[in-house]
């Protein structure tokens, strides 16, 4: 069950478990704007509570290689506005094996890491859960541009990424209008369509293709493009989620079937970069600080989230079992606004 907002607890600052003296922090999986703000918050909240902080470079990969450094308040100066992650990030196959997990837990113990904050997505939380089972206190902080973590309405990085994509799509629209073209713009999101849905609405796209609606009918799309042309529309913007993909071939097929010049633009990793928005900085700061407070309370195997207007925390197993869907109602609205 979700715990009530930390903000509502008056006495949480008094409760420091004696067993917590050193906190480790790492970033894992794809980087996301705002990760630095989260790292900074972990470091400074922990130091302000009299704890020592160790930074682990390159996610679980760096943990297994013992790439561990001490972090001071000054080490995180001038980082809140920077994109990427100052600790670097990685994907690490060995962490998926029992041997790798045991080694990682032993290294945490060797370096006196009593509590570990893992900033990343669902995969990274699965790793944190394994470490918690091996006796390392762990807290997950949701950091991914995909917004695909079910236990939270907000993930660090989404706001910056969706604004970056929106601005890029506005630019593509200018040239699409000038040339009276159909433009397919592919956005990231792995298997989730949140970036596509939000851009689709914000950019006023004629069509949004997302994995959650995987059975879309390309023939019907082609007829709609032709119908729009007849009605005098000068261009047609399709936002295609990475989970559907195939944008370049789709553009060729559409051009062939409609006779309308069609181009595909794949936005790619530019969506993961750049200075975090205010929202990403603030949510990351609060969630990062909260993760330290939870460790100080002796909590472990939890993930921090923001749900129904409150900062909350969930058991990792429970969080990973949750399912997130895109509301049919929102998708229906997006469709009706594109007529
Ligand atoms: P994200 O955290 O953004 O979902 P990934 O799925 O790539 O990104 O996971 C990041 C890393 O977390 C992986 O490279 C791996 O080291 C670790 N990880 C993922 N799944 C598991 C798992 N089931 N058990 C242990 N570690 C895992
Ligand atoms: O999870 C973030 C994300 O950017 C996804 O949207 C995308 O599917 C994936 O990471 C790309 O990963 P990589 O950086 O390894 O190409």
Q: How many whole angstroms separate alpha carbon 240 and alpha carbon 184?
A: 7
174: domain CATH number is 3.40.50.460
In the prediction, which pLDDT does 300 show?
97
User: Which backbone phi and psi does 317 adopt, to 5 degrees?
Assistant: -60, -45
In a domain, 337, yes or no: no
In the prediction, which pLDDT does 2 show?
63
Do 132 and 253 lie in one domain? The reply is: no
In the prediction, which pLDDT does 203 show?
97
Do 250 and 123 lie in one domain? The reply is: no
**Residue that finishes a domain, picked among 214, 249, 272:** 272
In a domain, 331, yes or no: no
Q: Provide the mean pLDDT of the chain.
A: 94
Q: How many whole angstroms separate alpha carbon 275 and alpha carbon 35?
A: 11
In the prediction, which pLDDT does 18 show?
72
| Run of H or E including 137 | strand 137-142
Residue 241 Cβ contacting ligand 2 at under 6 Å: no
User: C-alpha distances in angstroms, 145 versus 25, 30, 159, 317?
Assistant: 20, 8, 8, 22
In a domain, 216, yes or no: yes
Q: Which of 114, 122, 146, 159 is catalytic?
A: 146
Cβ-based neighbours of 273, under 8 Å, separated by 6 or more: 33, 83, 84, 164
Mean pLDDT is lowest, of 3-12, 119-128, 215-224, 281-290, for 3-12
Residues 247-276, mean pLDDT to the nearest whole number: 97
Do 18 and 146 lie in one domain? The reply is: yes
In the prediction, which pLDDT does 318 show?
98
Residue 266 Cβ contacting ligand 2 at under 6 Å: no
Q: Separation of 145 CA from ligand 2 center, angstroms?
A: 9
Assign 308 a pLDDT band (cuts: 50, 70, 90): very high
In the prediction, which pLDDT does 335 show?
86
Percent of the chain scoring above 70 in pLDDT: 95
75 is catalytic: no
In a domain, 114, yes or no: yes
Do 13 and 145 lie in one domain? The reply is: yes
Residue found by looking up tokens 């950091």 in the block: 143
287: domain CATH number is 3.40.50.450
Do 50 and 125 lie in one domain? The reply is: yes
Residue found by looking up tokens 């679980």 in the block: 60
What are the pocket residues of ligand 1 if the criterion is a CB atom closer than 6 Å to any ligand atom? 28-30, 60, 91-92, 95-96, 120-124, 126-127, 130, 144
**Residue that finishes a domain, picked among 247, 272, 297:** 272
Do 114 and 181 lie in one domain? The reply is: no
In the prediction, which pLDDT does 11 show?
46
Q: What is the pLDDT of residues 194-248, one digit of tens each?
A: 999 999 999 999 999 999 986 789 999 999 999 988 988 878 999 999 999 999 9
Dig out the tokens for 195 from the structure. 């970036």
Q: What is the pLDDT of residues 111-146, one digit of tens each?
A: 999 999 999 999 999 999 999 999 999 999 999 999
Do 280 and 292 lie in one domain? The reply is: yes
Q: How many whole angstroms separate alpha carbon 120 and alpha carbon 73?
A: 22
Do 57 and 131 lie in one domain? The reply is: yes
Q: Separation of 208 CA from ligand 2 center, angstroms?
A: 20
Rounded to a whole number of angstroms, the CA Rg of the chain reads 22
Cβ-based neighbours of 167, under 8 Å, separated by 6 or more: none
- β-bridge mates for residue 119, sequence order: 27, 141
| Run of H or E including 23 | strand 22-27
- Which residue CA neighbors atom 1 of ligand 1 most closely? 121
- Which residue CA neighbors atom 9 of ligand 2 most closely? 190
Which stretches within the chain are classed as H helix?
35-48, 59-64, 98-110, 122-133, 158-178, 194-202, 218-230, 247-258, 278-296, 316-321, 328-337
- Whether residue 10 is predicted with pLDDT greater than 50 in this model: the reply is no
- Whether residue 3 is predicted with pLDDT greater than 90 in this model: the reply is no
Provide the number of structural domains found in the chain.
2
Q: Separation of 124 CA from ligand 1 center, angstroms?
A: 4
CB neighbour burial string for 39-67, b if at least 16 within 10 angstroms, e if fewer: bbbbbbbbbebebbbbbbbbbbbbbbeeb
Q: What is the pLDDT of residues 18-39, one digit of tens each?
A: 788 999 999 999 999 999 999 9
Mean pLDDT is lowest, of 114-123, 189-198, 272-281, 324-333, for 324-333
Q: Separation of 76 CA from ligand 2 center, angstroms?
A: 26
In the prediction, which pLDDT does 287 show?
98
- Whether residue 279 is predicted with pLDDT greater than 60 in this model: the reply is yes
Residue 144 Cβ contacting ligand 2 at under 6 Å: yes
Do 137 and 284 lie in one domain? The reply is: yes
Q: Is the dihedral of CA 328, 330, 334, 336 positive or negative?
A: positive
Q: How far apart are the first and last CA of the chain?
A: 42
In a domain, 191, yes or no: yes
Q: CB atoms < 10 A from the CB of 18, how many?
A: 7
In the prediction, which pLDDT does 233 show?
83
Do 95 and 123 lie in one domain? The reply is: yes
Do 63 and 208 lie in one domain? The reply is: no
In a domain, 93, yes or no: yes
- Whether residue 327 is predicted with pLDDT greater than 90 in this model: the reply is no
Residues 58-69, mean pLDDT to the nearest whole number: 98
Do 184 and 137 lie in one domain? The reply is: no
In a domain, 264, yes or no: yes
Residue 211 Cβ contacting ligand 2 at under 6 Å: no
In a domain, 326, yes or no: no
Name the residue range of residue 209's domain: 161-272
Asked if 119 and 40 touch (Cβ cutoff 8 Å), the reply is no
- Which residue CA neighbors atom 10 of ligand 2 most closely? 30
User: Which backbone phi and psi does 283 adopt, to 5 degrees?
Assistant: -60, -40
Cβ-based neighbours of 49, under 8 Å, separated by 6 or more: 13, 16, 292, 296
């Amino acid at each position: 069950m979700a715990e009530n907002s930390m903000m509502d607890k008056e006495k949480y600052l008094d409760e420091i478990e004696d067993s917590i003296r050193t906190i480790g922090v790492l970033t894992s999986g794809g980087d996301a704007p705002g990760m630095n703000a989260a790292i900074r918050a972990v470091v400074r909240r922990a130091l302000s509570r009299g704890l020592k902080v160790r930074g682990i470079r390159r996610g679980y990969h760096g943990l297994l290689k013992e790439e561990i450094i001490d972090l001071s308040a000054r080490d995180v100066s001038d980082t809140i506005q920077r994109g990427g992650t100052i600790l670097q990030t990685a994907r690490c196959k060995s962490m998926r094996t029992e041997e790798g997990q045991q080694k990682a837990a032993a290294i945490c113990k060797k370096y006196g890491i009593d509590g570990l904050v893992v900033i990343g997505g669902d995969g990274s939380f699965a790793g944190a859960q394994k470490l918690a089972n091996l006796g390392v206190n762990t807290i997950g902080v949701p950091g991914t541009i995909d917004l695909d973590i079910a236990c939270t309405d907000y993930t660090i990085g989404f706001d910056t990424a969706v604004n970056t994509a929106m601005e890029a799509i506005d630019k593509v629209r200018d040239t699409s209008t000038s040339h009276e073209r159909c433009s397919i713009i592919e956005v990231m999101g792995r298997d989730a369509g949140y970036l596509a849905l939000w851009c689709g609405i914000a950019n006023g796209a004629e069509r949004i293709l997302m994995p959650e609606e995987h059975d879309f009918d390309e023939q019907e799309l082609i007829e709609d493009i032709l119908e729009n042309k007849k009605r005098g529309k000068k261009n047609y913007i399709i936002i295609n989620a990475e989970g559907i993909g195939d944008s370049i071939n789709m553009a060729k097929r559409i051009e062939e079937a409609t006779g309308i010049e069609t181009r595909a633009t794949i936005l790619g990793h530019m969506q993961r970069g750049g200075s975090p928005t205010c929202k990403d900085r603030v949510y990351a700061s609060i969630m990062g600080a909260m993760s330290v407070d939870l460790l100080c309370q002796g909590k472990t195997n939890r993930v921090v989230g923001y749900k129904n207007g409150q900062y909350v925390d969930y058991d990792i197993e429970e969080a990973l079992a949750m399912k997130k869907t895109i509301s049919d109602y929102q998708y229906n609205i997006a469709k009706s606004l594109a007529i």
